[in-house]
Structure 1
Amino acid sequence: MKRFQLFLFCAAVISASCQHPSAPLVVFTQAGFKSPAQKSPPPSAKPAPADSEKISPLRSSAAELEAENQAELRSLDLSPLTILPLDAQPANQDTPDNLAQALAQVKALSAQPELETVSVNAAEAPSCGLACQTELALAQHLPLNQQQWLGAHNAYNSKGIFKNQSWNISQQLDAGVRIVELDLHRRLFSSKVRVCHGAGAYDCLLNPFGARDYQQILNEVKSWSDQHPDQLLVLELENHVKNQKSVEEPILNTFQGLLYRAAERKAGWQHETPAQIVARGKRVIVADFGELRFEGQLIWDQNELSSNTPTKGFSADCSVDGKPMETEAWGFYDDKTFKKANPLTVASIPQFLRCDARYLKIDRLTPELLNARHFSWESALPEQACAQVSTGSGRWQAQRCEHSQPFVCKTPAGWKHSTHAGTWKEGAAVCTQEFGESAAFEPPRTYFQNQQVLAVLTAGEAFWINARLEPS
C-alpha cells in the first residue's frame, strides 16, 4: 500500500510539472519544502491543455514507477488513475508556496493509514417505494424544526476510486435524499470551483478523490428539482473556497428565484413546513458548515437545521459525548473512507432515529440502509386499505377500513390511544370525544414520532392511525 500511496503523490508532481513548465518545481526535503528561483518560460513553451483533455499520470518519465505498481493496482481492482488537467493562469496567480501546500496535502491524504479502497456496493438504485413515498408526503407538512432529513455524504462522489456513493445525485434524490452535500475547493492556478472529497484548499488535484465540475452538479440538481417542483431540497456546502462570489454566483444563476435565502426568513421560520415553502415558489435552501462560511444573505448556517456531528460520540441512551440530545437539534454523518465516524448500519440507524436525530448523512447508501429508516407501510399493499399499527414490528399494516378497533390520537399532552373502538372513518370524532377539541386523528410523521406512538400502545393490540391507501 505504501508504494501505491507514493504513486499518488508522484503522479500529482509529474502532472503539475508537465502541464506547467513555467512553474518552479517544488522539492520536499526533511527540512521542508524548497523551490528554486522562478524562471521565465521559453518562447516555445506549449500552452496548458484544455479542461476537456485527460492526462494519464503514467507518463514515460514514470515508466519504472508504473511497472512497480501495476500488480498492486490490479490487486486493489482500481481503474487507471486520471489526473485532472490544471488551468493555465499567469504565474502570479499561485505562488510556489501555494503549490507546495497543495502537494503536501495530497501527500498527507495519500499517507492516511486508514484509507480504504473497498468499492461501494454497486446495487442498482432503488425506486421510492410505498413507505418512501408515504414518509416524504408526511414530511411535507412537518415543521422544519421537527424534520428527520436524509442526506448523502459526499453526494457528488460516485465516480472516483475512493467514492462515497454508487448512485448519482439524481438517483439519490429519487431514493429519498433531500440534503445534498458538496465539498467545494479551488483548483490550482484558477479561481474555478471544483467539488471533491478532501480536507484542504487544493485537494481536487487528483481524480481518485471524485473531483467534479461545480456547475454541472448544480445543473443536475436543478434538472431534478424542475421535475419534482413540490420537493424542498437543501444544498449543504463544506466550503474551502475564500472567494464568496465564486461560491454564490453559480448558485444564484442556476436557481434564481427558487432559492429560499437566509435574508428572506421571518420570525418563526422554524415552524414553516416544506409544503408552505414550496407553495411560495421556493424549492432550494443553501446551508454551509465548512471552515469558510458566507452565511447571511443567501446561505443558511447548517446548525440552524441540525448539527453536523460524527457518529462516534453518539450513545444509544440518546446522548452525544454525555450530553442529552434533547438539548439541541443533532445531525450525524459517517465517512467510511477515512473512518472519521462509526459506520451507519442497518442496526444503528434506528437507534439514531428513535433518539430524534434530525439528520443522518449516510456514506455509501444501499437499499438496506434506506429501508432501515422506514417506519410506515411494511410492504406493498392492496388498494383501499387503512393503516393500523401495533407494538410487534412497529411498522404499519393494512386492515379493512370497516374493521373496528381503537385509535391513535395526537393531543397537546402527547400521543395517546383511545379506549373506544370504531371503524377507521370514525377516528376524528373519537379522538376529540375522548381528549378534547385540541386532539386530532393524526399520523406520526417521522420515525421518532412513530416510536412515541409505540411507547403508549398496549402490547398485543392493533390501533388505527390516520393513513389510508386510495385507489389509483
Structure 2
Amino acid sequence: MAAGAIVAVLVGGAPPGTAATQPPPPPSPTAPCDALSPIAIPCTLLGKTADAVAAECRRAGVPDERCTVPLAHKVTQAARDAYLKSWVHQAAEFQYALGGSLPLRDAQWIGTHNSFNSPSDSLTLSHEDSNQQLTLTQQLDIDVRALELDLHWIPRLERLGQRAVTVCHGESPSEADLGCTNEPLFSTVLPKIADWLDGHSDQVILLYLEDQMQKPAAYASTIATLDTVLRRPDGSSMIYRPDPSKRAANGCTPLPLGVSRDQVRASGAQVILVGSCAPGWSADVFDWNADHVESGSTSAYQPYPACDATYDASVYATKLVRYFEDSTLVANLLDPTRPPADPNALTPAKVQSMTDCGVNLFGFDQLLPEDGRIQATVWSWAPDEPRVDGGGCTLQRADGRWVAAPCADRHPAACRSGSTWTVTAPVPYAAAAAACASSGSTFALPRSGDQNAALQAVAGTSGGASPGAGGAWLRYRITS
C-alpha cells in the first residue's frame, strides 16, 4: 500500500477520543500444563511433541482445522487468510511504506528468530524443537520482512558424505555442528524466499545469515547460491550489494545505516543481506556487527519513555536495535528453573513499549497472525481507521493513535524541527502548514513508532477541539 493513500478501509472500532486498547493475546497452547508445573521444561517438551504431531497431520493432507492437538499451536490457512483482510495487515503495510524513506537505522522491521526452524517445513531433529510454526512463505504473507537463516557446512548423506551448506539450528563447528542432521540445503530453502519476492516486487526484506560455516568452500557455495537464486526471470539480481569502495580494513563492508528501503528498491534490489564479517562472502553480505545491538533486557523493558536502561538515546539514534526471544526446549534446558511464563518473551505489551521506544528489529518466536504481537507493532491508525465517514484529514488522538477527522475541525498542528516536535494553537487543517511555519518549523508526519510517541508526549496533553482533548493534526490527507 502506498504511503500517500489508504485504499481499503474497514468500518467499526473504537470511537475517536477513546484509548486504542488491544485485545488480550490468546492463551499459550500449553496453558493447562503450565498451571500445574512450576518450571517450563515439562510443558515445553509436551508442547514440542504436540506441535510435531500437528505438523505431520497437516503434511499428510488432513485439513488443518482437524489437526488441532491439545498443547499444540493452532496453525491454519484460514487464520492467515483472515489476517490478510484485517485492519492490522492494512496498518502494517501502511507503516512499512511510511518508513520506506527512513534510513535503515530508523526504519522498523517485523522479523522472526530462526525463521527456518519450523515443523511445517520438514521433519528433522532440530525442527522438532521449533522456533516457528509457520513456513517462510506464510511468515512473509503476514508482514514479516526480516528473516534469519542459520548456515552450517556439514556432510550430507545424499551426497555420500560431501559437505554442503545446510540451514540448521545447531551448535557451532567447534562443537561438530551438533543438532544438524537431515535439515534442508540452503539451495532448497532460499528459492522459497525468492519466489515470494518475485510475486511482491515492491517489497524489500532484511535477510540475516548467521554464519556457522567458517570454511572458504562454504562461503563460495553460499555466494553461488545467492547469486543464482536471488535473480529474477529477466536476469536482474534482487541483492543490494555492498559497495567495494566502502570496504573496511577487515575485508567487509559495514551495513550502510543511512540508506533507506526506498533507495534499495530504486536500485532494483529487494534483499539486504547481513551477517558477521567473512571476507569470503563480503561481495554479497554486509557486516552488521558494529551496526546493531541485541543484548538488551526484555524482562526489564518499561513503557516509553523509560524503555530499557541497557541503551541510551544515542544507541537508538545510531544503530539497529534488535530484540529476540527463544522458545526452544534447548533454551529452557539451559535455564532449568525458568517458570512457564518466560520473563524474556516478547509479549504484546513489551512489543508495544519497544515500538514506542524505537526498537528497529523484532525476532519473534512462534509467530501467528492472531497472537497480538503484530498488532502491538501498530503505532499509527486506531483499530478500523481511517473510517470512510470520518473525514479527509488525519488526527493523532491524545492516546497517540490516528483517526480520520473533518478537515474543518480545529486542532493543534504537529510541527517538527530537526528531531523536536511541537504543536501549535488549534487551527483548521488548511492552516496547519502556515501555523508551523510561523514558528520556524514544518508541518509533519511521524514515520516511526518512536517519532509518534515523541509527538504524543507533546500533543497528548495540549488543548484540542475541547479542553483537555489533546491530539494534533498530522500531515496526511486520506483518499479512498
Q: TM-score range by the shorter chain?
A: 0.5 to 0.7
Shift of 1:228: 1.8
Instruction: List aligned pairs for 1:98-117, cutoff 5 A.
Output: none
- Indicate if the aligned counterparts of 1:145 and 1:270 stay in contact, CA closer than 8 A: yes
Q: 1:245 aligns with which of 205, 210, 220?
A: 220
Secondary structure at 1:129 match in 2 = helix
Partner of 1:390: 397
Aligned in 2, Cα 1:413/1:262: closer, same or farther, shift over 3 Å?
closer
2:290 and 2:479 mapped to 1: Cα distance? Answer: 37
Task: Measure, in 1, the Cα distance between the counterparts of 2:242 and 2:71.
Answer: 39
Give, in whole Å, the separation in 2 of the partners of 1:311 and 1:403.
43
How has the CA–CA distance of structure 1 residues 214 and 355 changed in structure 2, closer, same or farther, with 3 Å as cutoff? Answer: same
Residues 5-31 of structure 1 deviation map (CA, whole Å, 9 limit, x = unaligned): xxxxxxxxxxxxxxxxxxxxxxxxxxx
Residues 325-382 of structure 1, C-alpha deviations (whole Å, 9 max, x = no match): 5335221111111258811001111222233222111111133110011101112233
Q: CA deviation at 1:168?
A: 1.8
Residue 402 (1) aligns with residue 377 (2) = no
Amino acid at match of 1:133: E
Q: 1:450 to 1:299 in 2, by over 3 A?
A: same
Question: What is the aligned partner in structure 1 of residue 35 from structure 2?
Answer: none
Instruction: Give 1:253 deviation, angstroms.
Output: 1.2
1:324 partner amino acid: D
Q: Quote how far apart the aligned CAs of 1:213 are.
A: 3.0
Question: Which residue is 2:286 aligned to?
Answer: 300
Paired AA for residue 253 in structure 1: T
Question: Secondary structure of 2:411's partner?
Answer: coil
Letter in 1 for 2:393: C
How big is each residue's C-alpha offset from its partner over 1:86-106, in whole Å with a ceiling of 9 and x where there is no partner?
Answer: xxxxxxxxxxxxxxxxxxxxx
* Aligned pairs for 1:174-253 within 5 A: 174-188=141-155, 189-201=161-173, 202-203=177-178, 205-206=180-181, 211-241=183-213, 242=215, 243-253=218-228
Cα deviation, 1:413-433, whole Å, max 9, x if unaligned, reads 51111124112x44333322x
Aligned: 1:162 with 2:129? yes
Is the alpha carbon distance of 1:415 and 1:310 closer, same or farther for their aligned partners in structure 2, counting shifts above 3 Å?
closer
- Tell me, which stretches of 5 or more residues in structure 2 are unaligned? 1-44, 56-69, 120-126, 156-160, 232-236, 247-253, 335-342, 462-468
Distance (whole Å) between structure 2 residues aligned to residue 305 and residue 140 of structure 1: 19
Percent of pairs identical after alignment? Answer: 25
Amino acid at match of 1:149: W
Amino acid aligned to 1:122: V
TM-score in terms of structure 2 length: 0.67
Q: Which residue of 2 aligns with 1:173?
A: 140
Q: CA RMSD in A?
A: 3.1
Q: CA deviation at 1:402?
A: 2.9
Quick one: distance in 1 between partners of 2:279 and 2:187?
19
Pairwise CA distance, 1:445: 1.0
Distance (Å, rounded) in 1 between the aligned partners of 2:162 and 2:313:
43
1:466 aligns to what?
475
From 62, 72, 96, give the equivalent of 1:136. Answer: 96
Please report how far the alpha carbon of residue 77 of structure 1 lies from its aligned counterpart in structure 2 after TM superposition. 2.9
- Take 1:375 and 1:349, find their aligned partners in 2: how far apart are those partners? 11
Q: Secondary structure at the match of 1:77?
A: helix
Contact 2:111–2:363 at 8 Å: present in 1 too? Answer: yes
| Residue in 1 that maps onto 2:323 | 332
* Bigger-Rg structure (1/2): 1
Q: CA deviation at 1:193?
A: 1.4
Q: Matches of 1:151 and 1:388 in 2, distance apart? A: 29
C-alpha contact (below 8 Å) 1:263/1:298 kept by paired residues: no
Residues 382-405 of structure 1 deviation map (CA, whole Å, 9 limit, x = unaligned):
33632211223x211221233222
Of 84, 92, 105, the residue aligned with 1:145 is 105
Q: How does 1:320-359 map to 2 (within 5 A)?
A: 322-324=310-312, 326-327=314-315, 329=319, 330-337=321-328, 338-339=331-332, 342-359=344-361
Look up the SS of the partner of 1:456 in the other structure: helix
Alpha-carbon contact 1:120-1:163 (below 8 Å) kept: no
Query: Equivalents in 1 of 2:297, 2:188: separation in Å?
Result: 31
Aligned equivalent of 1:52: none
Aligned to 1:272: 259
Could you tell me how far apart the structure 1 residues matched to 2:355 and 2:205 are? 20
Say which of 247, 266, 272 aligns to 1:285: 272
| Counterparts in 2 of 1:301 and 1:295: CA distance versus 1, 3 Å | farther
Deviation at 1:76, TM superposition (A): 4.0
1:260 to 237, 240, 253: 240
Q: Is the 8 A contact 1:187 1:204 kept in 2?
A: no
Q: Does 1:431 pair with 2:422?
A: no
Partner Cα distance (1:195, 1:280) in 2 = 29
Aligned residues: 356
Match of 1:375 in 2: 379
8 Å CA contact retained: 2:107, 2:360: yes
SS of the residue aligned with 2:207?
A: strand
Contact 2:113 2:325 in 1 (8 A): yes
The CA distance in 2 between the partners of 1:355 and 1:371, in whole Å, is 16
Whole-angstrom distance in 1 between the partners of 2:293 and 2:421: 27
2:412–2:471 CA contact under 8 A, matched in 1? yes
Q: Does the CA contact (< 8 Å) of 2:51 and 2:73 recur in 1?
A: no
Equivalence for 1:66: none
Structure 1 264/387 Cα, relative in aligned 2: closer, same or farther at 3 Å? farther
5+ residue gaps, structure 1: 1-71, 83-116
* Mapped partners of 1:310, 1:420: distance in 2: 40
